[in-house]
Structure formats: structure tokens, C-alpha cells
Chains A and B, each alone.
Chain A
Amino acid sequence: MKELLEKIRQDALSALRGDESSESVRIRFLGKKGELTSVLRGMGAVAPEERPKMGQLVNEVREKIEAAIAEKAEKEKREALEAKLKAEKIDVTIPGDDLSVGKRHPLAQTEAAIREIFIGMGFSVVEGPEVEYDYYNFEALNLPKNHPARDMQDTFYITDNILLRSQTSPVQVRTMENSKPPIRIISPGRVYRADPADATHSPIFHQCEGLVVDKGITMGDLKGVLELFAKKMFGEDTKIRFRPHHFPFTEPSAEVDVSCWECGGKGCRLCKGEGWIEILGAGMVHPFVLSNCGIDPNVYSGFAFGMGIERVALCRLGIDDMRMLYENDVRFLSQF
């Protein structure tokens, strides 16, 4: 009996060492009809006084076999997992699913970037009509009918009195008429000028103008605001330069250049060797405009500025032809 148990033990362990699976070994030795189970069944034939001793021996053998089976089972599980993982291997270079999220138009993105900077400085966004009265687009802005400065902007007219706004300044006039200082607004939007389309012109384009009216506003404040804008928009090292200019609605007036962000002012292709890029027009609100809108120029002063959103977008994104923005080729749109 003892030898038999020893043999079972030996057989079971050697079976486990071989190719036989742990489950098959378990069934062969420990199953209902297994070899060790048979031995146990045959315990009836063992002398009663030997039974405890034999029982103990059987248990020992069983434990040993069970432990060996468990060990083998663990190994088999590990191997199976490895095989499975290996089989599940994916070529990670295969492209992912096309989830096709759309893109905001580059002009919308640029407008949002400009807006965000000014909102951070306490400016509100105001919009207004695109078809306007001549009064709001010109007359209230110190540009009476037949003023030669009207030639600076070729304007589309609907009637003698109604036109497509050539600037977003009418929004400023409407704002000044309807609210009291302090005023701090920007007015982004579409404007229209009778310029045929080419790489740098478009009969429809977008502007973002700004207006600040309060007590004690200075030209230094104008520079401060625009300098901050330029740094946020084009990088912390950006500088600005004012050049005297003429706008009928501001006095003094300036054209504002920012240092080229591509070359830092040394001169390159982007800035055409100038080191500066013209981005803005600006100035101190003309007292005529203030009083026209019911604001006392002896009490209040203010500044205004304006920029072309297309121009900023073209410069920022490195687009060399404005017409691309209105073609809306999806291969273009998806780049931004």
C-alpha cells in the first residue's frame, strides 16, 4: 500500500513535469475515479489499526500532488495569458479612426484670440448692423458728405443715405449715443469696401475696432493698451511703433506697426525687410465726434483703434493670399 501510494505520487509528479495538463493530472489522480481516490476507496481492506497511519499517508500524498497541480496550473495560466497577449498584438502604426471634428474658420479663430485679449482688459464686445446709415458710418465721425477723406475708403452704397459700412466705427457711435462713459468696447465684424479682390484686398473683410472713453484718458494709455495687446497677440518681446497719420475721427491719429515676430525686427521676407508690420490705425477720439454723440469733450477724452482681422490672420498663420480665406477649400480649413 505504501509503495502504491509512493508510486502514485511519483507518477503524478512525473506526469506534471511532462506534457500532461494540470487538469488531466487532477482528474487521473484526484478525480472521482482517480488513482488516489481508488486507494482511498480501498481503505476498507486495510487493517483498522493501520487505517489512521495510512489515512495520514494518503493525505500527505494528496497534498503533495495538489500542490504540484496548483503550481503547474499557475504556470499554464501564465503561459496561456502570454500566448493570448501575443496573439492580440496590434500594429500600432495603423492610423486611428477618423473622428472628423470640424474646425473653426481661421478668421473666427483670429477674432476669438483678439477678443479674448481685450475682454481680459475689461472691454465688452458690441456688434451692429452691416447695412448702415451714411450718418453713422461717416457724418457722425467728422466726415460730412463730399469730404475728400471719404476717398480713403471706397464705399458701396444702397441709396444716397444707406450704405454697407466701410468700418465698424458706426458701432462706436451707436454705443456712445446709447451709453455713458466709462466706455470700453471692441466691435468686431464684417465691413465692405469697393476694392477688387487680390492677394491683400477683399471687398468684404473683417475689422476689430476699439473705443475707450473716460475721464483723463491719455495718448499714453492708448499706447499702453496697444502695447499689451501686441505682446499678448504676437509674443512678449513685441514692440510697437506709432507713425503720425490722419483719420478724420481721431486727433492725433497714428498708424501702428508691431515689430516683426518672425525676425524680431531685423528684417525678413514676412516684414519685407522693414522689421515692422503695419497692423493698426489708432488715435485720440476727435472732440467733434464726442460732442456729436452727446459726450462733453471738456470732461471726457478717449481713444479708438482698429485693425483688419484678415491681416492679423494672414500674418499669424503665414497665409500669403487673402482669397484663400473665402475659397473655403476643406484642405485649407482643416489646417488650422
Chain B
Amino acid sequence: MILSLKWLHDFIDVSDIDIKTFCEDMTVSGSKVETYEELGKEIENVRVGLITKIEQHPDAERLVICQVNFGDRDLQIVTAAKNVFEGALVPVAVSPEGEKVVAKLAHGVEIKTGKLRGVTSEGMFCSIEELGLDTHDMPGAPTDGILILNDYPCKAGDDIHDVLMLSDTAVEFEITPNRPDCLSVIGLARETSATFRRPLNIPTPAVKGSDGNVRDYVNVSVDSKKCSRYCARVVKNVKIAPSPLWLRMRLRAAGVRPINNIVDITNYVMIEYGQPMHAFDYSCLDGHEIVVREAGDGEIFRTLDSQERALTPDMLVIADKDRPVGIAGVMGGENSEITDSTQTVVFESACFDGSSVRITAKKLGMRTESSARFEKGLDCENCLPALQRACELVELLGAGEVVDGIIDVYPEKKPVYTVPFEPEKINRFLGIFLSPDNMKEILRSLCFDVEDGKVIVPSYRDDVRCMNDVAEEIVRIYGYNKIESSSIIAQMTQGGLPADVKFREGLSEHLCALGLDEICTFTFIPARIYTKSGMAEDDPRRKSLEIANPFGEDTKTLRTTSVPSMLEILELNYNRSNPTASLFEMAKVFIPREGVVTNIHGLEGTLPDERIKVTVGFYGAGGFSRIKGVCEEILRFAGIDNAKYVAVTDDPTFHPGRCAKIVLADGTDLGRFGELHPVTRENYTFSCPVYLAELDLELIREHSVSEKKYKPLPKFPAVSRDFSLVCDEEIEVGTLEEAMSSCGVKILESITLFDVYRGSQLPEGKKSVSFSVMLRAADHTLTVDEADKATKKILGTLEYKLGVTIRS
């Protein structure tokens, strides 16, 4: 809402208050000022000049030399303008006498004395554009010539600000949706009055009227509960013309473009009273009837903006005998538009149901100044004063004759709402100490009344319905910042993190310690990055939740896997020539769920399974063994020691020979890790291997062993035995280890792989694997005999089970 301060001063005088103080105090009392603009300020030293003589420039065919009188001085000005004449009054940018100050025009243009083709020009004539105006502001003014001021009440030497009423201050407020009453000059005048404790003067509009009776002109019927009041008056002998300058300048300050007197009046009243108005051309109302009704299904209607609109029965229309002439509270129709030939006008001032207007405007995709007000819920008590004000303006402007009589269809008068006045409760609730009298004074300054222990709520304040609301009214005027801070006096509560968050935080710190930087990515993705990460068209992971109203593909798909996001970030780093990046993320993926999960409110639909994934990715630092090492460390953090690593060969994201999943003894699949598939890698700019892991955090936590118990340190020394085995290429190290640890050697403490060798010294299809095993007994020092026996058993098992031989 843009407020013209000149306009505000019609109702309350705050002209002595400095603009900064005004804005700050209004903000602190609840009407937030976004910004303000001092209009006309950019124009400096532009005065009215009288052209006394025009001569041809001696050296330029297209220039003329004008002698211009400013009352107290005469100056010479050279111009190329064609519409100047002797005796013309024109705006002239000219430096003040004897001063070196330049004249300033709109868009930062500066004017000083200069020479044009050798002839001195002491200033410049101005067009409307140079004064920051357009033809809507100044109807009839030339766009390619000088503004002629002979029709304006002015004389040579006058300041152009006074002549064209250019000076005003436009203050822009952010009005919250609960205060539609403040989307008006009067509403803000009320707030100003309460904020600065100054008297408010809102005159009651006075309409003289003329002969005739409105009922002879038009009959109004309301066929829907969505219209709580419909007021109308008729104006005859209408003379469509531009509005007077003062009105145009006020509309301009409020950010509204002037059109013609009748349309301008409807806009003026909307801004002043907050009540959207509409004017119909009476001659276009068939049957001289106005019917407020629901639209027919599929009814087609052409709105003022020349768009065809298909209506539905939940939309409210204003219709004549046969067809709609306006969409209630949204926009009028082209069929009843005010034109230059309009002779009789019907003014509408009505109240329509907020959510109905909101739904209609949304469905039609046309949010207008009118619908934006109606949808917040307007006061039906305001309809009549606004209508009267419009008629008063018609008479003031001489735009027509207001026919006697008012149509006012108002089936159920709005009841007066009251809230108990509970000063003690309010004080306790706010933590302040204000006397009931002070509270009453504040409430009265806001036009509330207090009587018999009740707060009487003004009809335009539907937002005040309970003690809290009254408390807010009091405290915002008293001053939020006068509330003393206090400590909560209450039962002690134990704060802290829930176990899952604690686990996640701990693991995050752990991953940082492993040299991984934490990243934060968007949980919705463009579906194309599924494809980019190698996913086939029929991959079940593509079944994702989709956002119904995304703004483009990029925000459409809720990811079911976090790997594509990780790859995007790795690629960004790679493209920016970062030699290495080692990253992790812990964030959600969303798995759609079938079937209905019961919830306490019987809400429709099922929420997805939200799972937090631990995603790891890196390039340029380490290979498969590092990604596996990170995974092992994650499991170690969780105390999980029964994991098996099973090769995965069919995941298109991963290299078929360099990918594994982590499976626990109970069959739980924690996730997978490995090298990015070289073919998939071609979808990215990487020219080096990339390693990835995606594990399920919840599953890891579910299987984690949080209790840590002390194990006594060994008392007796261990014996270490190293041996190299030769086996088939196909046999995995895990299988060898498994065979060794399950062969029944109790004193086998640990197995450590230290080399895998393939080469010319070995037969084709064979590899050599070297282990170091630790043997230890808990209760005595091992003898060489025992160690030999154990080693023999281990090797014997390997040979027997897997055909492994000792490499000599």
C-alpha cells in the first residue's frame, strides 16, 4: 500500500512530523514502512516562463531563439521545439539568478547555460517526460513538444512544483493480510492517529443528488450468500473527461494510472476507503437489471483486459438479465466498460465473500487490486460510505448528476462483536503493568470502545476476536519495546538432543576427521540427473514424489537417492579446477509409500518414507580402498562388526568390478559403495575415477552397538606368522579370510592382508595373496609347537576348502 502524505493530511495533520520519525513510529506501532519516496524532489529550478518573442536562429534552420520572461528577469533560450509560440507559458529549467546551481530534471538530467550553434541559451524548455510525467498524468500534453501551461492557473516565475502539484511523499507500507482495513488512506489515518495520539477527522460524504429515482433505473437482486451487501447508485448526464490535476496527482502518488474521471473516482475511493468499486455503463445492462449470481458451468466471459474467461459455478458474477457483466470482486467485463460515450453510470459498492473471490481469482489467474482486498475479508459496513464518497466526487468534479435514491441490498446486518475487557489478565499475559484506564485510552485511540467490561470491536476489525488480540492492540501502541524481559518461572525441563540426532552429529564429526567436507544439497532434483547418474529408464528408483507446482524441472522431483546430487557437486568442483574434493552429506531421500498409514486426524494420503542417507564421494584423492576404508570406519563408529562386503555387478552407476554392498548377518543391506562406472562417467566432465558410497543412516543406527565395554589388554605375547598363498584369481580375499577365521583355531586373533601379487612368476589365472596372522592365547605364552600347529591347521583348511597352496 502506497500512501500519499498529502492525501493523509485530509484526515489527520502530521505535516510537522519529520518523515523519518513518521516511518519509524508507524513501523513500531505495527504499520511497517518498507520505504518512502519524496516525489518531485528530483526536479529542481524549473519555473514557468512566458515567451515574449521568437526569432529564427541565424545559423540553424531548426532552432529558434526565444526571449522568455520570468517576472523578475528575462532570459534567452534556444529551442528546437515546434509547438512554442509568443505568449506561451512553458516550464523552463533555468539556474537561479546569480547562482551557479544547475537545474535538475527527471532521470538525473542537469541543465546549465550553454551555447547552441553560437547563440547563448540560458536554460531549457521542458516536455512532460523531462518532468517525470506521462500522458496519463497530463492528458492532452504533447509527447514530442513542450508542455504548454496556458490552461493552468499560473504566471511567469511560478515554481513548477506548485503549478503541477508535483511535491508529495509516497510512503510504502507492508500491510499484513489480517489488516485489509489498512489498505486505505483512512485506515492508515486511523493508525497514524493512534500512533501519534492526534485527532482524526473523517468527514461524512455529502451528496446533493438530483431528480429521478434510482429504482426507476435499475433493479438489483442478490442470489448468493457469497454477497453480503450490494449498494448501487446511478449517475446520469455523465461527461467523461480527464480528472482534475489534484486527483490525477494523488492517484499517481499512490501508484495508480489516471484514466478518466469516472474510472479515476472508483480507484480514488478504493484507495481512500479501501472499498473496491465498479462502474458499469448503464446502457449496456440488458433489462436494466443487476443480478448477483453464481456463474453457469462453462459460461464464457470477456473481462476488461480483453481476455476470454471460462467460468465455473463456484464463481460469483454480476449479471444483467442474460449475461455476466463482471466477475464479482475481481474484474468487470468489456461488455459494460466505461467509454467516452458513456452517458449513464451505475456505481457498485458491494461486499463479496473473501475466500470465494480468492478462489475465483486464483483459478482465473488474475489477481487484481480489487481481489487482493476482497480476499482478505472486507467490512460490509464500509460499502455505503464509499459509494457516497464516489457520488460526492462526481458532484465535485462535475462529472455527472447523481440520481436520488440508493440501492442497498443488505439482508443480514453485520453484528457488533465484543470481547471481554480483562486488564489484569492482559497485564499478566504480556508481563506489563498498565492501568485499565491507560488500556482504555489506547483502545479508544484505535476506535475501539470499552463499555460494561466489554471491548466493542469496530466493524472493520474482524481480526480482533479474543483476549490475545486485544492484548496485541494495547501493547503495540503502548510499545512492544517497553515490555521488560523476564526469565521463565516454571518447572525445570531437561534439554538435549534426541538419540538419532546425537548419532548423526557424532558420525558427521567422525567423517570430518576422515578428511571429508560436509555438503548441503537440494533434496529436490531435476529428473534428468537420474539419467545422468546412469539410471535406466525403468529403474524402480525413478518412482519419486513429484511437486505439483514446481517452477520448472529443477524443483520437480523429490530424490529417492542422494548419489546424483553428490555427483553434481563433485562435478562442479571438478569443473572449477579444484584438484581434489572429498565430500559427505547426511540428508533425506523420499521413498513413496503405498497404502494408507493411519493418522489421528484421518488425513487423506500417505506421507513418504523419509530416510537419511550418508553419502560419500571423492575424486583426486584415494581409490577403492579409501572409499571402503571410509565405509568400514562408519561401521566401526557404529560398533557394527558383522558386516560382509558382497560384490555388486549390475548397478549402472558403479563399475561392475568395483562395487560392493554392505550386508549384515541378519541380511540387512546398509547400502553400496564403489567406483563410478566408466561409461556413466562419460555423462560428466570427470577425466579421473570418482568414488561414491550411499549408506542408510537409520539402518546403521538401528544396528549400532552404543554400549562400549572394556576388554582387558592381553597379558601374554602374540606370535605372528606371515605366509603367501597362491590361489585362483576368482577367489576373493574375503573368502580366504572367512575360511581362516572359521577353521576352528581358537588362538587366531587377527588376520591382516599385506599383499596381493599377480605376475609372470605365477601360472595364468592365479594370484598370490599374503597374510600376516596373529596368534595369541589368553592364559599363557604360546609355544612354537602350538603356533606351528595352528598355522598348519589354517593352511590345511585353505588347501582343503579352496585349493590354495603355499607359495614357496
Complex Cα distance, B608 from A107, in Å, reads: 25
The one of B490, B522, B588, B607 in contact with A217, judged by C-beta atoms closer than 8 angstroms, is B490
A120 at the interface (CB under 8 A from B): yes
Q: Which of A277-336 contact B (CB under 8 A)?
A: 284, 286-287, 301, 325-331, 333-334
Complex Cα distance, B545 from A244, in Å, reads: 39
Complex Cα distance, B500 from A203, in Å, reads: 26
- With contact pairs A224-B488, A326-B522 given, residues A284 and B429 touching in the complex (Cβ less than 8 Å): yes
The one of B430, B467, B494, B524 in contact with A220, judged by C-beta atoms closer than 8 angstroms, is B430
B558 partner residues in chain A, CB cutoff 8 A = 131, 158, 164
Of A14-22, A37-45, A111-119, which stretch is located at the interface?
A: A111-119
**Would you call B518 and A333 a contact (CB within 8 A)?**
yes
A200 at the interface (CB under 8 A from B): no
> Main SS of chain B's interface residues?
loop
B179 at the interface (CB under 8 A from A): yes
B512 partner residues in chain A, CB cutoff 8 A = 101-104
**Would you call A218 and B430 a contact (CB within 8 A)?**
yes
The one of B376, B483, B500 in contact with A242, judged by C-beta atoms closer than 8 angstroms, is B483
A252 at the interface (CB under 8 A from B): yes
**Would you call B476 and A121 a contact (CB within 8 A)?**
no
B466 at the interface (CB under 8 A from A): yes
A251 at the interface (CB under 8 A from B): yes
B569 partner residues in chain A, CB cutoff 8 A = 327-328
**Would you call A148 and B547 a contact (CB within 8 A)?**
no
**Would you call A122 and B492 a contact (CB within 8 A)?**
yes
- With contact pairs A148-B177, A244-B29, A245-B176 given, residues A161 and B472 touching in the complex (Cβ less than 8 Å): no
**Would you call A243 and B497 a contact (CB within 8 A)?**
no
Q: Please give me the residue from chain B that is nearest to A196 by CB atom.
A: B551
Complex Cα distance, B486 from A122, in Å, reads: 16
Q: How far is the CB of A237 from chain B (nearest CB, A)?
A: 15
Of B241-249, B278-286, B353-361, which stretch is located at the interface?
A: B353-361
Q: Mark A203-220, 1 if CB is under 8 A from B, else 0.
A: 110000000101111111
The one of A102, A196, A245 in contact with B514, judged by C-beta atoms closer than 8 angstroms, is A102
**Would you call A333 and B468 a contact (CB within 8 A)?**
no
A29 at the interface (CB under 8 A from B): no
**Would you call B515 and A122 a contact (CB within 8 A)?**
no
A131 partner residues in chain B, CB cutoff 8 A = 545, 558, 590, 607-608, 610
**Would you call A330 and B573 a contact (CB within 8 A)?**
yes
Q: Mark B543-585, 1 if CB is under 8 A from A, else 0.
A: 0011111110001001000000000010011001010111110
A162 at the interface (CB under 8 A from B): yes
B472 partner residues in chain A, CB cutoff 8 A = 244, 251-253
Q: Please give me the residue from chain B that is nearest to A109 by CB atom.
A: B518
A99 partner residues in chain B, CB cutoff 8 A = 515
A70 at the interface (CB under 8 A from B): no
**Would you call B475 and A219 a contact (CB within 8 A)?**
yes
Compute the total of residue contacts between A and B using a CB distance below 8 Å: 262
The one of A129, A216, A242 in contact with B428, judged by C-beta atoms closer than 8 angstroms, is A216
The one of B429, B480, B517, B545 in contact with A102, judged by C-beta atoms closer than 8 angstroms, is B517
A112 partner residues in chain B, CB cutoff 8 A = 505
B44 at the interface (CB under 8 A from A): no
A254 at the interface (CB under 8 A from B): yes
Q: Mark A221-240, 1 if CB is under 8 A from B, else 0.
A: 10111010000000000000
Of B109-117, B595-603, B665-673, B716-724, which stretch is located at the interface?
A: B595-603
Complex Cα distance, B520 from A329, in Å, reads: 11
Complex Cα distance, B377 from A216, in Å, reads: 34
Max count, chain A CB within 10 A of own CB: residue among B179, B377, B429: B429
Max count, chain B CB within 10 A of own CB: residue among A100, A125, A133, A330: A330
B685 at the interface (CB under 8 A from A): no
B430 partner residues in chain A, CB cutoff 8 A = 218-220, 252
Q: Which of B228-270 contact A (CB under 8 A)?
A: none
B513 at the interface (CB under 8 A from A): yes
Q: How far is the CB of A291 from chain B (nearest CB, A)?
A: 11
Complex Cα distance, B179 from A214, in Å, reads: 30
Q: Which of A27-70 contact B (CB under 8 A)?
A: none
B760 at the interface (CB under 8 A from A): no
Q: How far is the CB of A140 from chain B (nearest CB, A)?
A: 8
Q: Please give me the residue from chain A that is nearest to B463 by CB atom.
A: A246
The one of A104, A122, A129, A196 in contact with B607, judged by C-beta atoms closer than 8 angstroms, is A129
The one of A221, A245, A325 in contact with B32, judged by C-beta atoms closer than 8 angstroms, is A245
B488 partner residues in chain A, CB cutoff 8 A = 212, 214, 217, 221, 224-225
- With contact pairs A100-B515, A107-B520 given, residues A164 and B608 touching in the complex (Cβ less than 8 Å): no
**Would you call B607 and A218 a contact (CB within 8 A)?**
no
Complex Cα distance, B604 from A161, in Å, reads: 7
Please give the number of chain B residues whose Cβ is less than 8 angstroms from any Cβ of chain A in the complex.
98
Q: How far is the CB of A184 from chain B (nearest CB, A)?
A: 4
Q: Which of B480-535 contact A (CB under 8 A)?
A: 480-481, 483-498, 500-501, 505, 508-509, 511-524
**Would you call A152 and B514 a contact (CB within 8 A)?**
no
**Would you call B551 and A243 a contact (CB within 8 A)?**
no
**Would you call A287 and B468 a contact (CB within 8 A)?**
yes
A241 at the interface (CB under 8 A from B): yes
A149 at the interface (CB under 8 A from B): yes
Complex Cα distance, B638 from A62, in Å, reads: 72
Complex Cα distance, B516 from A327, in Å, reads: 16
Complex Cα distance, B356 from A145, in Å, reads: 11
Complex Cα distance, B588 from A132, in Å, reads: 14
**Would you call A214 and B608 a contact (CB within 8 A)?**
no
Complex Cα distance, B429 from A246, in Å, reads: 18
Q: How far is the CB of B547 from chain A (nearest CB, A)?
A: 5
Complex Cα distance, B189 from A107, in Å, reads: 44
Complex Cα distance, B488 from A214, in Å, reads: 9
The one of B468, B516, B608 in contact with A251, judged by C-beta atoms closer than 8 angstroms, is B468
**Would you call A243 and B32 a contact (CB within 8 A)?**
yes
B436 partner residues in chain A, CB cutoff 8 A = none
A254 partner residues in chain B, CB cutoff 8 A = 480
Beyond contacts A118-B495, A131-B545: 17 other A-B pairs, Cβ-Cβ < 8 A, are A100-B621, A101-B512, A102-B511, A102-B517, A130-B523, A152-B177, A161-B604, A161-B605, A182-B490, A182-B493, A190-B523, A216-B489, A220-B485, A243-B480, A248-B178, A330-B578, A330-B581
Closest 3 CB pairs of A and B: A220-B431, A252-B472, A246-B176
Can you offer 11 A-B residue contacts whose CB atoms are under 8 A?
A102-B512, A104-B509, A108-B520, A115-B497, A119-B497, A122-B493, A135-B601, A151-B177, A157-B548, A252-B476, A284-B471
Q: B-side interface residues toward A, CB under 8 Å? A: 27-30, 32, 176-179, 354-355, 358-359, 375-377, 428-432, 466-469, 471-472, 475-476, 480-481, 483-498, 500-501, 505, 508-509, 511-524, 545-551, 555, 558, 569, 572-573, 576, 578, 580-584, 587-588, 590, 599-601, 603-605, 607-608, 610, 621
Q: A-side interface residues toward B, CB under 8 Å? A: 99-105, 107-108, 112, 115, 118-127, 129-133, 135, 145-149, 151-152, 156-159, 161-162, 164, 177, 182, 184, 190, 192, 194, 196, 203-204, 212, 214-221, 223-225, 227, 241-246, 248, 251-255, 284, 286-287, 301, 325-331, 333-334
